[in-house]
Amino acid sequence: MVLHYGISQSLKSSFRNDNKNKKIMARAESNEFKNGTKAPDFTLLNTVDDKNYSLHQLKGEKGTVIMFICNHCPFVIHVNAELVKMANEYQQKGINFIAISANDVENYPQDAPQFMKQLAKDEKYPFPYLYDETQEVAKSYDAACTPDFYAFDENLKAIYHGQLDDSRPGNGKQVTGIDLRNALENLFQNKPVLENQKPSVGCGIKWK
């Protein structure tokens, strides 16, 4: 059956009213990913156009941002607008954005590929939204939470792994993307990588 209501609102509602998963989402922090680490390669389904793409097909000329996100997590919903804004801005400068969802869709059906496709359309994602069905890609990056941000230079060497900014749902701080923005600006200006990289905080990835 095809659902015709707005998926973004329905996902917010499902988080609040999900009868199957009544536990409040526990906060998780991103794991360490050392600067200079080569980005693990992958080939995944892009739910936006139903085609498979490799990292090397999607990477940017000057840099690449990889984001582990999902549909239903309130921490991701909180920053969606800024992700779209930043991607539209930086992709014009040669830094491509790639979003990946690795959640277990059997227990979290709202994160299934058909809903990823709809959310990408609703939110006007200007980047591919890839489905990591086996969760092997998330494991290769040691991803832990949604959202989890990684930035790489033109050679796919890690320059940043941390939070978008200090804003969290309910803490009253404006979403600016300042931490990730600073990392990308340092890349443009050939400055050293940021020394203070605060871990991202969000919902834990839903492992099988």
Pick the CATH number of 25-204 from 3.40.50.150, 3.30.590.10, 3.30.565.10, 3.40.30.10: 3.40.30.10
Q: Is the pLDDT of residue 130 over 80?
A: yes
Q: What pLDDT is stored for residue 15 in this prediction?
A: 42
- What's this model's pTM, rounded to 2 decimal places? 0.89
Q: What pLDDT is stored for residue 116 in this prediction?
A: 98
Question: In 3D, which of 101, 199, 96 has the Cα closest to residue 151?
Answer: 96
pLDDT > 70 in the chain, percent: 88
Q: What pLDDT is stored for residue 17 in this prediction?
A: 40
What are the tokens at 177? 């993307």
Q: How many CA within 13 A on the CB side of residue 90? A: 28
| Confidence band for 23, pLDDT divided at 50, 70 and 90 | very low
Q: What is the mean pLDDT of the chain?
A: 90
Q: Is the pLDDT of residue 104 over 50?
A: yes
- Specify the 3-state DSSP secondary structure of 132: coil
The H or E element containing residue 82 is helix 74-90
| Confidence band for 26, pLDDT divided at 50, 70 and 90 | low
Q: Is the pLDDT of residue 9 over 60?
A: no
Integer Cα distance of 37 and 31 in angstroms: 14
pLDDT for 37-91, tens place per residue? 999 999 999 999 999 999 999 999 999 999 999 999 999 999 999 999 999 999 9
Query: What is the mean pLDDT of the segment spanning 99-103?
Result: 98
Query: What is the mean pLDDT of the segment spanning 139-151?
Result: 98
Q: Is the pLDDT of residue 21 over 80?
A: no
Q: Is the pLDDT of residue 164 over 60?
A: yes
Integer Cα distance of 6 and 35 in angstroms: 39
On the 0-12 / 13-18 / 19+ scale of CB atoms within 10 A, 190 is exposed
